[in-house]
A and B are shown apart, each in its own frame.
Chain A
């Protein structure tokens, strides 16, 4: 099973700042089958990025994904008030074993 480790656990930033979230895999994720989700309190997760770098429908271009192999990054170029949330990465390259990272909370500084 591929283990995904997200860092940092919590990121304290101000609106307008740049956020860089890391997701590291214990083994190479084939074909960059990695996705990022955003979850706000009391809500279901929302798909942001799939295939490591493709934005999902309706996702603003301030969100971008990059990386390959074992190291992946989600970048939010300028934080908006609605971006403060928890972010999860997920790999689906080793299907049928799907795994999520433990999450990174982006909080207001």
Chain B
């Protein structure tokens, strides 16, 4: 069965860095686009970033552009999010999610599987 397991969350000071990981299993990882979506405590969902199946396309929300970097290792069935220059407003549960590609190249689709999330807290 499809499984997505996030790790790497924790408490970090403002201006600090953190790297999140998402381990995928139960499907052919290299066939799917992957994304990070976050949810601040008591708030709604916010798309953060996505990456195409072969890493040819990446995109970021304006709120994280220039600070976060998404990457993947298809040989390890893993997705990553490098988060730098963290701010208090980045505090959230971060979910990784899977999406099928759709035309045109680089376009995202709906998210059919989600991990359970990892909590990132940015506080001094």
Chain A contacts to B: CB under 8 angstroms: 33, 35, 37, 39, 43-47, 50-51, 56-57, 88, 90, 92, 95-103
Given contacts A44-B114, A44-B117, A46-B114, contact A98 B44 (CB under 8 A): no
Chain A residues touching B, majority SS: loop
Chain B residues touching A, majority SS: strand
Interface segment among B15-23, B24-32, B72-80, B101-109: the answer is B101-109
Q: Which of A45, A95, A96, A97 contacts B45 (CB 8 A)?
A: A45
- Size class of the contact patch on chain B: 20 to 34
Q: Which of A47, A95, A100 contacts B46 (CB 8 A)?
A: A100
Given contacts A44-B115, A88-B44, A101-B44, contact A96 B106 (CB under 8 A): yes
Chain B 105-124: CB-based contact to A (< 8 A → 1; otherwise 0): 01111111111110000000
A86 CA to B37 CA, complexed, in Å: 16
A33 CA to B102 CA, complexed, in Å: 11
Smallest beta-carbon distance A58→chain B, Å: 11
4 nearest CB pairs, A to B: A96-B59, A35-B110, A44-B114, A50-B110
Chain B 25-59: CB-based contact to A (< 8 A → 1; otherwise 0): 00000000001000000001111001000000101
Q: Which of B50, B112, B116 contacts A98 (CB 8 A)?
A: B50
